[in-house]
């Protein structure tokens, strides 16, 4: 079966390419607004499903994902600007937060959660990280595989989930859907 990745994320594409998974890609263009009172898990699962539904093509297995960072009841998506990135980084400074990624291979949706703890960040570090642009298009305004990784004290769970695509779960879903994986 042919695989269609519904994502503009270079990180998701790179993961699949490095594994030798053959796919085509198409960005999903949907309204990513969170509904009032919508729990983080419901929101991220809905986003993954809607992205997959938008990109569905005959003869293809569709793969879509969405990632959020959660601090208490606050859901952090991508920062609107550098000021918003600074706000998010201050919020994450010195605390544990959750990263949730939902993966959809229709009709199935699975979600993976990882706990991440940041070291306390100084104002200079917050400004430097935000100004670097490293987290501009990333949930929570940071990339664990990028500059912010230097400030991660603890990660409990899937590293690839925090990057944006939990590979173990994704590969299992793709195999179940009949996608030809390099080792099959």
- The three-state secondary structure class of 7 is coil
List C-alpha distances in Å: 71 to 6, 22, 74, 92, 117: 27, 36, 5, 8, 11
Residues 31, 66, 137, 180: which is the catalytic one? 66
Active site residue 136: no
Pair type for strands 2-6 and 24-25? parallel
66: Cβ contacts below 8 Å, ≥ 6 apart: 32, 44, 47, 48, 51, 101, 102
First-to-final CA distance of the chain: 12
> For residue 9, how far is the Cα from the chain centroid?
9
Distance CA 181, CA 143 (A): 27
Question: Catalytic residues, which ones?
Answer: 66
């Amino acid at each position: 079966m042919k695989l269609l990745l519904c994502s503009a994320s270079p990180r998701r594409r790179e993961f699949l390419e490095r594994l030798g998974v053959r796919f085509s890609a198409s960005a999903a263009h949907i309204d990513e607004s969170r509904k009032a009172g919508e729990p983080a898990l419901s929101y991220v699962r809905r986003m993954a499903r809607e992205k997959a539904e938008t990109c569905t093509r005959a003869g293809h297995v569709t793969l879509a994902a969405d990632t959020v960072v959660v601090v208490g009841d606050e859901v952090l998506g991508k920062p609107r600007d550098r000021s918003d990135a600074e706000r998010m980084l201050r919020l994450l400074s010195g605390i544990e937060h959750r990263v949730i990624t939902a993966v959809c291979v229709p009709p199935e949706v699975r979600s993976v959660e990882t706990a991440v703890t940041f070291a306390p960040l100084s104002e200079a570090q917050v400004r430097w990280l935000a100004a670097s642009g490293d987290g501009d298009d990333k949930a929570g305004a940071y990339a664990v595989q990028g500059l912010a990784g230097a400030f991660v004290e603890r990660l409990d769970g899937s590293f690839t989930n925090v990057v944006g695509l939990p590979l173990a779960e994704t590969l299992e879903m793709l195999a179940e859907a009949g996608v030809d994986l390099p080792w099959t």
